[in-house]
Chains A and B, each alone.
Chain A
């Protein structure tokens, strides 16, 4: 459609309120949360099929007529989306290294965002990510959400001036140009989402701090769009799986929860979800194009704390993962050809499967049989 009618997205978005969600990680979950929250006001369309570049977004816009549309947007396509659909609010989650064989520098993306965001009336942006803050400052108005971030390895160089960006606890700032963490309008305190007016318990069905961050971004955005925050939270709280992420599948007495982790920041957060348990783990790892063909970054993620549990690696780059775990001092790691065999090698009970993109899709497919 886009090739035949390049004006289609602009026409299809006219007279509708478009809200965009973008970032390296958490796009799909935050989009699902935001869509559920806005649905308390009336009909909402969204691209929940995961097609988040120009062609898929155009198809999604054409598929519905709801007055509000929430669009998950690939971070590289955000400038296009802003130009084509003139969103009223853009929600900016995070920017970190991902598929570096194609996208060589996080800083380039941040500057492309910054150029595109000049025309956006309002952004809801993470205050915890220097690259996001630098870009978000270009918009006309900002709502800042302090969601925290375990991953800071892309935040040591100031995205604005190239000076050193110093991190102290949850705060950060550049000594050279003065770019620093803005005062948040919303922030997380343990399992509570807090603003000057509200203090709301999250109690999410989805696990991990990363989903608290996604919920915080979605509720802050929904509040800006006119949803009562407690109602927004009530609408998102019970969502237990998003496009297969965190879904639980049974296989011969094993209850497998499948977690998607696409890049080092994602792996860091996913490993944190299982850190407090001794539950067996399956790590499924590929390097097809969308996974990133270069898994060197495995060494930027600590795996040492996985010791003391059964771990099985699988996937077409399983040997890379095996060597990574060996270098982290883990021994007795098993390696096998596929997720089902891996499950059968583990005792009955709960198992977490952490998989990168194509491995995740494969795991979902075989577990659904």
Chain B
């Protein structure tokens, strides 16, 4: 197990935290300290170099212009890719997730290159924006069910080096094959805000364990309660539709399996 203080780099929170994604750093620190581990959150400002030596890197979601600004400041910096190649964990949400891929398509329909850390390409989702509760069963990792809230217009096409993070029960996620998110080595990408690591404690522990090895158990009763509440809330519309579906009267399913 790693001895020194665990460092979590929160990358550009001033532009990449539209939906509380900085809470992912809070969750990691909370769960690390719950095991008696020292944890330091480093807020990396737009003009700061991304550190090479952090243990976990977090990138959040952002509005379109904010995402492009973050991209400008990340381009040409090799430290994130080098840290990941050396075994650092990385968790990226929505715009941050798209920025780690090979390329993404903006609202102006222009395809722009990403950092190429993930074997993923993102385009625009056809149809309305994907907004709502997400419920998925983890498949790319063994972290139980995943709960979050999505709000995006992007999809994710996974290349052979990447595998889906989870299979959707509710929500749009990657927009293909009922998949949500991606796992590739020590990097996890997702469209789930929430913030996702608050709502998904085992996913947070997976990132911590990537760095420090096996963790002591840490039960967090309020989080357990929140997960069950959000799972029930996500399933409620499905349950409401169930009698109609049996009667053959259900309207078009909303991208559900």
Contacts and interface: CB of A to CB of B under 8 A. Distances in A.
Contacts of A320: 226
B69 A101 contact: no
A133 interface: no
B20 A299 contact: yes
Interface string A81-111: 0000000000000000100110011110000
Interface stretch (B137-145, B183-191, B193-201, B237-245): B193-201
A319 B226 contact: yes
Contact of B66 (A101, A156, A300): A156
A134 to B, nearest CB: 12
Contacts of A158: 65
Contacts of A328: 26
Contact of B151 (A100, A156, A164): A100
Interface residues of B, number: 34
A91 B194 CA distance: 34
Contacts of B18: 97, 100
Given A323-B198, A327-B27, A156 B14 contact: yes
Contact of B23 (A105, A163, A164, A296): A296
Nearest to A101: B131
A297 B226 CA distance: 16
A296 B149 contact: yes
A100 B222 CA distance: 25
B195 A162 contact: no
A299 B23 contact: yes
B195 A299 contact: yes
A320 B23 CA distance: 12
29 contacts: A101-B132, A101-B151, A104-B63, A153-B14, A153-B17, A156-B46, A162-B68, A163-B69, A293-B132, A294-B149, A296-B19, A296-B23, A296-B193, A296-B194, A296-B195, A297-B19, A297-B20, A299-B17, A299-B195, A299-B198, A300-B17, A300-B20, A319-B222, A319-B225, A323-B198, A323-B222, A323-B226, A326-B222, A328-B26
Interface of A: 97, 100-101, 104-107, 153, 156-158, 162-164, 293-294, 296-300, 319-320, 322-324, 326-328
